[in-house]
Amino acid sequence: MKQPIHIAVTGAAGQISYSLLFRLAAGDFLGKDQPIILHLLEISPALPALQGVVMELQDCASPILHGVIITDDPKIAFKDVDYAFLVGARPRSADMERKDLLQVNAAIFSVQGKALNEVANRTVKVLVVGNPANTNALIALSNAPDLKPENFSCMTRLDHNRALSQLAEKCDVLVTEVKNVIIWGNHSGTQYPDIQHAKVKDQGALSLVDHNWFENTFIPTVQQRGATVIKARGLSSAASAANAAVDHMRSWVVGTSEGEWVSMGIYSDGSYGIEPGLMYSYPVTISNGKVSIVQGLDINDFSRQKMQLTETELKEERSAIKHLLS
Ligand code: NAI
């Protein structure tokens, strides 16, 4: 029998976790023969609701779920964990401006970064889902000086999956016949969903759709998809976000297929002229757990301008929380 792997999930009583935890317990992340122990973090007032979620997890009688720890203390939640899904965040309330949202979340992610630094496994793989995800990830990693920037990532996989799906629908093909879309930059309305290097049944995507559709339909549809789901459902994307979190972490562990890439928010090394040290979403390949930015893609003026716009927003977010970066 394999040794259990320890997985932390924050915001464990929230909407996304209500899908994510059951996917983890079903073996969708590490496989159906890999035992796991879940470490669930919530704020104190949400612990009673979390107890209810844990009851439901027990009621699944999952053969791989070998234990559940629930706590409101990040140092207990992150103790010796191999993977951390940082989902919990403060939502924006009606009276809050974007900069207030940045501040309250920055405070949460600096505490969690410090706790990861102190108690997590040194090879921990951290995925930040809670918004503003890129900047929250930057805060967490800069408060974890004993871990490497490579331990941290943030989620643009939901946007990537949305892009795959929109392009497949437009070309009337299966989603498996579309590859190599890219989400550049921030997980926000300024992100740049790019199909200039995408392939549909091994043909260049832009030879199958016209530029007008790409620019005026595809890009805004992907950028605004989260808002469109909220409008229809009255709640933000949850099951698809949990699915993307599983996809992201699974790619990090099992790697990408030959000739394919995925989008991931990672610590910029300056590739494609993006400022080093921002958490920026790039096309990446992954092998043996090592993430590498796809190099050498031609970037035309249209793309360059959109990549810079989302970079500018990330720089602004970073300067708003500069005091929390060490
Ligand atoms: P939710 O509001 O249902 O759940 C969030 C949970 O986090 C709540 O239970 C809350 O008590 C908890 N929480 C708040 N502060 C915490 C702290 N300091 N420590 C531990 N837990 C804490 O929200 P939902 O729908 O589950 O979304 C979670 C986050 O994910 C939001 O920030 C949302 O904007 C973001 N999101 C990101 C996506 C992405 O693609 N990166 C996609 C969809 C959502």
| Two domains, one topology: 5-154 and 157-319 | no
Residue 142 CA, ligand 1 centroid: distance in Å = 21
pLDDT of residue 324: 82
Q: Which CATH superfamily is domain 5-154 in?
A: NAD(P)-binding Rossmann-like Domain (3.40.50.720)
Residue with tokens 């229809």: 232
Please say whether the beta carbons of 17 and 87 come within 8 A: yes
Q: How far apart are CA 88 and CA 76, in angstroms?
A: 16
- Measured by CA distance, the residue closest to atom 10 of ligand 1 is 11
- Taking the C-alpha atoms of residue 56 and residue 37, their distance in angstroms, rounded to an integer, is 15
User: What residues does each domain of the chain span?
Assistant: 5-154, 157-319
187 ligand 1 Cβ < 6 A: yes
Task: Determine the Cα–Cα distance for residues 72 and 70; give it in Å rounded to an integer.
Answer: 7
Choose which CATH entry (1.10.3210.10, 3.10.450.50, 1.10.1140.10, 3.90.110.10) describes domain 157-319: 3.90.110.10
The per-residue pLDDT for 150 is 98
pLDDT at position 100: 84
Most informative mutation of 131, 229, 243 for ligand 1 (most atoms within 8 A of CB): 131
How far apart, in Å, are the Cα atoms of 72 and each of 135, 174, 212, 228?
Answer: 23, 43, 50, 33
The predicted complex's ipTM stands at 0.99
To the query of whether residue 6 is one of the catalytic residues in this protein, the response is no
Rg, Å, the chain Cα set = 19
Q: Confirm or reject: Cβ of 14 under 6 Å from ligand 1.
A: yes
From the annotation, which residues make up the binding site? 11-17, 92, 98, 105, 112, 129-131, 162
pLDDT in tens, the chain (326 residues): 799 999 999 999 999 999 999 999 999 999 999 999 999 999 999 999 999 999 999 999 999 999 999 999 999 999 999 999 999 998 877 777 777 888 999 999 999 999 999 999 999 999 999 999 999 999 999 999 999 999 999 999 999 999 999 999 999 999 999 999 999 999 999 999 999 999 999 999 999 999 999 999 999 999 999 999 999 999 999 999 999 999 999 999 999 999 999 999 999 999 999 999 999 999 999 999 999 999 999 999 999 999 999 999 999 999 998 888 86
- Is the minimum distance from the CB of 186 to ligand 1 under 6 angstroms? no
Residue from 67, 62, 71, 52 nearest 22 by CA: 62
pLDDT value at residue 137: 98
Alpha-carbon gap, residue 238 to 14, rounded angstroms = 9
